[in-house]
Amino acid sequence: MDRGDNKLGGLMIKADPKKGQAGKYKLLFEGKDDDGDGKVNEDPVGGINVNMNGTNEYKPYETYGGVHPFAAKELIALADFLFERPNILSVFTFNYHNNFDKGWKIKYKGRRSKGNMFSTDSAAYNALASDLKPLAKYPGEKLNNGSIAGWAFYDAGRFSFSAPAWTYPEVKDSTEEKNKKNKKKTDDNRETLAYKWIVKNTPGNYLEWKEIKHPDFPNQKVEVGGFVPFAKNNPPEDSLTIISKNANKLLFRLYKSLPLLKVPEPLVEDLGNDVFRVTLTIKNEGTLPTHTEVGRGVKALQPVLIKTKPAKSQTIASGNEITFIQDPITGGSAVTKTFVIVGKGRVVFNVGSPSAGYNELNVQL
Amino acid sequence: MFKFTFFYLLIFPLSLFAQSGLPSTLKAVGAPNDPAVEVSWNRYHDYAGMTDILNELNNAYQNLSSLESIGKSYEGKDLWCITITNFESGKPEDKPAYYIDASIHANEAQAVEVALYTAWFLLETYDEIDFTKQLLNRVTFYIIPMQSPDSRDKFFYEPNTAHSPRSGQIPRDDDGDGLMDEDGYDDLNNDGFITQMRIKSKYGRWKTDPDDSRIMVRCKPDEIGSYDLIWSEGIDNDGDGIINEDGDGYYDPNRNWGRLWRPHYIQYGADRYPFSLPETKAIENFLSKHPNILGSQSYHNTGGMILIGPYQNEADFRFEDDLQLIDFIGKKGLELLPGYKYINSYKDFYPTYGDETNWHYAGHGIMSFVNELWTQYNMFREDPENSTETIYKFDKYLLFGDAFVDWEEVEHPKYGKVEVGGIKKTFGRMPPSFLLEEECHRNMAFTLMHADMLPQLSIENEKIDELDGGLYKITVDIINKRLMPTKLSVDKEYKITRPDWIEISGAEVISGGIKKSEYDKDFSAQEYKPEKLMIERIDGNSKVTASWLVSGSGSYTIKVNSIKGGKIEKVIKPKNTN
């Protein structure tokens, strides 16, 4: 670790051996070796970072990762909630990730399938992500191992979007302003952004380094200082209104993108001798597909079903009482299904799925 | 008068034996002759039957066993675990432990009997066979004989094939129509078995075998057939045009564990997330609370295999010395299990994800085996050339037709007149009566061999040398007299359990450490708390030498505290003191 260059004052930055930098400090969280094992703060309260404990790209044997995926009770509760609700098609997570930037890559390949398993999901995802990208105002990091947002798609089968509710905005000083033409994007990380903003606006949130005497390091110089707890990640109070307005816009657009199932009056053809051909057109007038392929893959979502109930006087000559539309009906598209019914009377078609909604049609033949 | 004589003749000799306590049988070697709990090892036990046996054993052998419920199944049945060790020679958790469970797939039914037989044998032969006594004096067994009790009773009392139910009883929507388990099997001839359906047809592609008319064989390409064959007995209960597509939950409890779990589209049956099932969760809680487990066996069927992980080719499963050790033990097992094969799961089979025993290894540092019970080799003591013919021949000459349901005509709502018949659910994957006890015993012998290889630690060769200035140098050897190290490499590498401790008390410790070899004079000093030396592990059939400089003479207590190697202690004194 090194204490930053003059520009960054008291911020601790990691020495990079590739750039020939040698560290001058060891950075530890404030504390003592309470159990006398030679290590400071090695066993604090808690221990699982819920956002590292999901099954997607889970990394075993990591500090804070949990002894196995889904060791965190919070995550279990969340999963049980989602799996009991097949009507949830889309999940949004406020986090430090932003996956509107690049859309989603479908990485998994099944044992028996080659190529892209979920091409429909992928296309719908990326189209919506690029559409909504301007509304996801705050930049974020890519998903980490075991993230909730990654799990919600790959292992819980829902469209999963993630963006920060807020991050510290860039602070432009005069020298940077001058360099703007040469350097379009700053490579500041979250910590540097936070530090620069706090020093300028709320300096009390970053404590100066002060020398203290530490019982475990009697012969070394020990200083205490840095970010006040929570200050690094949380917005100042007066910005909450604009933050929630931004979030509302984004969430409302996501809500408007849900599928909208419409089944207009079917086409009925009289084939003579009380035989009728009924053709249903099932439209999705929304943006997202009626379900995800990955949602079928994990058995979390249901495809659109047509339940056909003929009257007692009728029989179904072609078609079943239950018809599966196995592929998702994508936004703006339609599928048709044909039944041949023998006999006069009223036949009821119930069309839909939990994630697409239901339509019921009474057809008098 | 006649009645009286009969009564007299019948009852008197029995009561005579009962009074003298002598059995009326000659002991056959290798088994208890007069067990406290009589069990017939030539038939299968349901959940209540197993629970009774466990309770009777536990009541009969209170110094050697304890019985606990480690949790409840989905339907609320207790998951029983019997702990077996000599409780007077030390607490169960202070000894290295061997863990056995069975029948995570309920249709793999004889697995329960093998685990139950092991518990019975250990308890009933403690006083009769010295090997058992020595083993239980230093090793703890944890045995969960029935991992899937809900489906066990479904297998027994509801119509099923030999392959069902593999799942538990949590209702799940297999086909995505929003309904749970609405189209399972249908027992058309009400015999408790789901067999096959055949329909007489001029255009069928099946015929009966000319040598045995019970067997259906596929026609040759240029032959005209006489039957259509439909694989499993049933009807389309939900009107979607498909038969039996949504029976008992589709999930597989052996794909629901904590290492390399993959979702259903990659690993069939994974269910929602690791340990989403109450049974796997309860067992995982148990394993977490018993870190002294170092060896394990999970019984499955079928095919006659000693199966080892890794179940995938992942870097963190490849520890050469762990694999060498497991190979050594597994291959020795083949000598005890004729007809069995030694198989590495991902190399010789196919990769699977979220397996239980993978988790034993990667999550708990346990060396684990899966025995796939029952092999057709056992039918005529050779590997059969034609599996179907061998099964029917065995059924005809050794089981006298008892394994087969004769074809019988029934009315089917879709197909009209069909014939129902075929192999019973209790044959094909399970041994027949007269081979069951052998299967129990031989497989148990393999686990006892493995359990006997668990570390046996002792503190020996103590030396107390007086130095100048009231200082003493104390040196002891900690010897492991068995093959298994106190910790596997995977455990060492990923710090699954804490280091082993070698502690001294009774004097002020100035310095202390482990000697690199016994030929070295010096030890490498441990900076922090030298009175509690921490070492990564004690290898199999080897020793470590600990040494301390202390001030103060007298007697010292040396304690070895190893999570998986056991806890022992010894008081040592200078030779001239009493």
CATH of the domain spanning B457-572, picked from 2.60.40.10, 3.40.640.10, 2.40.50.140, 1.10.357.10:
2.60.40.10
Please tell me the predicted confidence (pLDDT) of residue B105: 97
Same domain (yes/no): A61, A133: yes
Closest-CA distance of chain A to residue B160, Å: 24
Give the count of domains, chain A: 2
Query: Do the beta carbons of residue A266 and residue A86 sit within 8 Å?
Result: no
Same domain (yes/no): A44, A159: yes
In this prediction, residues A320-347 reach a mean pLDDT of 96
Please tell me the predicted confidence (pLDDT) of residue B16: 44
Please tell me the predicted confidence (pLDDT) of residue A44: 66
Please tell me the predicted confidence (pLDDT) of residue A115: 57
Q: CB distance from A83 to chain B under 8 Å?
A: yes
Same domain (yes/no): A137, A269: no
What is the interface pTM, i.e. ipTM, of the complex? 0.90
**Predicted confidence (pLDDT) at residue B313 exceeds the cutoff of 80:** no
Same domain (yes/no): A142, A279: no
Nearest-angstrom CA–CA distance, B149 and B166: 12
What is the three-class DSSP state of B54? helix
* Cβ-Cβ contacts under 8 Å, B316 against chain A: 60-61
Contact B276 A79 (CB under 8 A): yes
In this prediction, residues A75-95 reach a mean pLDDT of 97
Fold of B2-154+274-302+356-374+433-452: Aminopeptidase (3.40.630)
Same domain (yes/no): A327, A247: no
Q: CB distance from A50 to chain B under 8 Å?
A: no
Distance, C-alpha B78 to centroid of its chain: 18
* Cβ-Cβ contacts under 8 Å, A158 against chain B: none
Domain containing A68 equals 31-166+239-256
DSSP annotation string for A151-173: HHHHTT-SEEEEE-S--PPP---
Contact A76 B176 (CB under 8 A): no
**Predicted confidence (pLDDT) at residue A180 exceeds the cutoff of 70:** no
Q: CB distance from A340 to chain B under 8 Å?
A: no
In this prediction, residues A196-203 reach a mean pLDDT of 86
In this prediction, residues B367-391 reach a mean pLDDT of 95
**Shortest CA distance from A36: residue in chain B:** B528
- The residue with greater pLDDT, B180 or B14, is B180
In this prediction, residues B273-283 reach a mean pLDDT of 98
Longest distance between any two alpha carbons in chain B, whole Å: 106
Closest-CA distance of chain B to residue A131, Å: 29
In this prediction, residues B362-370 reach a mean pLDDT of 96
Please tell me the predicted confidence (pLDDT) of residue A29: 78
Same domain (yes/no): A124, A243: yes
Query: Do the beta carbons of residue A348 and residue A362 sit within 8 Å?
Result: yes
Please tell me the predicted confidence (pLDDT) of residue B17: 46
Domain with residue A53: its CATH number is: 3.40.630.10
- The residue with greater pLDDT, B91 or B236, is B91
**Predicted confidence (pLDDT) at residue B74 exceeds the cutoff of 80:** yes
**Predicted confidence (pLDDT) at residue A111 exceeds the cutoff of 90:** no
**Predicted confidence (pLDDT) at residue B348 exceeds the cutoff of 90:** no
Query: Do the beta carbons of residue B311 and residue B352 sit within 8 Å?
Result: yes
- CATH 2.60.40.10 domain span(s) along chain B: 457-572
Same domain (yes/no): A94, A113: yes
Residues B189-221: tens digit of each pLDDT: 999 999 999 999 988 999 999 888 888 999 999
Nearest-angstrom CA–CA distance, B481 and B459: 11
Q: CB distance from B76 to chain A under 8 Å?
A: no
Please tell me the predicted confidence (pLDDT) of residue B282: 98
**Shortest CA distance from A326: residue in chain B:** B176
In this prediction, residues B52-75 reach a mean pLDDT of 98
* Cβ-Cβ contacts under 8 Å, B276 against chain A: 70, 76, 79
**Local confidence band at B14 (pLDDT 50, 70, 90 cut-offs):** very low
First to last CA, chain A: 80
Tokens 């919506």 label which residue? Answer: A128
**Shortest CA distance from B275: residue in chain A:** A70
Please tell me the predicted confidence (pLDDT) of residue A188: 66
Please tell me the predicted confidence (pLDDT) of residue B345: 78
Query: Do the beta carbons of residue A160 and residue A82 sit within 8 Å?
Result: no
Please tell me the predicted confidence (pLDDT) of residue B10: 45
Q: CB distance from A86 to chain B under 8 Å?
A: yes
Q: Which of A95, A98, A93 lies closest to A129, judged by CA?
A: A98
**Local confidence band at B576 (pLDDT 50, 70, 90 cut-offs):** low
Contact B273 A38 (CB under 8 A): no
**Predicted confidence (pLDDT) at residue A1 exceeds the cutoff of 70:** no
Provide the mean pLDDT of chain B.
91
* Cβ-Cβ contacts under 8 Å, A75 against chain B: 273
Structure tokens, B505:
């008390």
Please tell me the predicted confidence (pLDDT) of residue B93: 98
**Predicted confidence (pLDDT) at residue B11 exceeds the cutoff of 80:** no
Please tell me the predicted confidence (pLDDT) of residue A37: 67
CB-closest option in A68, A79, A111 to B258:
A68
Nearest-angstrom CA–CA distance, A32 and A30: 7
Query: Do the beta carbons of residue B291 and residue B499 sit within 8 Å?
Result: no
Q: CB distance from A37 to chain B under 8 Å?
A: yes
**Shortest CA distance from A309: residue in chain B:** B239
Provide the mean pLDDT of chain A.
87
Considering the domain boundaries, does residue A87 fall inside one? yes
Q: Rounded to the nearest 10 degrees, how much is the dihedral formed by the CA atoms of A109, A81, A330, A133? A: -80
Cα torsion angle, A216, A222, A225, A230, sign: negative
CB-closest option in A75, A79, A320 to B241:
A320
Nearest-angstrom CA–CA distance, B402 and B211: 18
- CATH 3.40.630.10 domain span(s) along chain B: 2-154+274-302+356-374+433-452
Considering the domain boundaries, does residue A195 fall inside one? no
**Shortest CA distance from A77: residue in chain B:** B276
**Highest mean pLDDT: which range of A279-283, B10-14, B386-390:** A279-283
Please tell me the predicted confidence (pLDDT) of residue B578: 47
Please tell me the predicted confidence (pLDDT) of residue B396: 94
Nearest-angstrom CA–CA distance, A338 and B279: 46
**Shortest CA distance from A323: residue in chain B:** B240
Same domain (yes/no): A127, A276: no
**Predicted confidence (pLDDT) at residue B303 exceeds the cutoff of 90:** yes
**Predicted confidence (pLDDT) at residue B15 exceeds the cutoff of 80:** no
In this prediction, residues B317-322 reach a mean pLDDT of 85
In this prediction, residues B105-134 reach a mean pLDDT of 98
**Predicted confidence (pLDDT) at residue B271 exceeds the cutoff of 50:** yes
Residues B438-487: tens digit of each pLDDT: 999 999 999 999 999 999 999 999 999 999 888 999 999 999 999 999 99
Same domain (yes/no): A306, A252: no
Considering the domain boundaries, does residue A18 fall inside one? no
Considering the domain boundaries, does residue A227 fall inside one? no
**Predicted confidence (pLDDT) at residue A331 exceeds the cutoff of 50:** yes
Same domain (yes/no): A248, A341: no
Structure tokens, B387:
């599996």
CB-closest option in B274, B288, B350 to A70:
B274
In this prediction, residues B19-39 reach a mean pLDDT of 85
Closest-CA distance of chain B to residue A61, Å: 6
Q: What is the CA radius of gyration of chain B?
A: 29
**Predicted confidence (pLDDT) at residue B419 exceeds the cutoff of 90:** yes
Domain with residue A296: its CATH number is: 2.60.40.10
Please tell me the predicted confidence (pLDDT) of residue B18: 45
Please tell me the predicted confidence (pLDDT) of residue A175: 55
**Predicted confidence (pLDDT) at residue A101 exceeds the cutoff of 90:** no
Contact B263 A154 (CB under 8 A): yes
Please tell me the predicted confidence (pLDDT) of residue A258: 97
Please tell me the predicted confidence (pLDDT) of residue B2: 46
Structure tokens, B492:
């060492």
In this prediction, residues B275-283 reach a mean pLDDT of 98
Please tell me the predicted confidence (pLDDT) of residue A108: 59
- The residue with greater pLDDT, B74 or B2, is B74
Q: What is the DSSP letter of A100?
A: T
Q: Which of B40, B82, B77 lies closest to B60, judged by CA?
A: B82
**Predicted confidence (pLDDT) at residue A5 exceeds the cutoff of 50:** no
Contact B274 A354 (CB under 8 A): no
Q: What percent of chain A has pLDDT over 70?
A: 86
Mutate to test the interface with B, among A40, A59, A70, A84 (most CBs of B within 10 A): A70
**Predicted confidence (pLDDT) at residue A170 exceeds the cutoff of 50:** yes
Please tell me the predicted confidence (pLDDT) of residue A179: 53
* Cβ-Cβ contacts under 8 Å, A43 against chain B: none
**Shortest CA distance from A107: residue in chain B:** B266
Helix (H) and strand (E) counts in chain A = 7, 15
Kindly provide the residue ranges of all beta strands, DSSP E only, lying in chain A, ordered along the sequence: 2-3, 12-13, 90-94, 159-163, 206-212, 222-227, 261-262, 267-272, 275-284, 304-309, 315-318, 322-325, 334-342, 346-353, 357-364
Please tell me the predicted confidence (pLDDT) of residue A38: 66
Nearest-angstrom CA–CA distance, A216 and A210: 17
Considering the domain boundaries, does residue A176 fall inside one? no
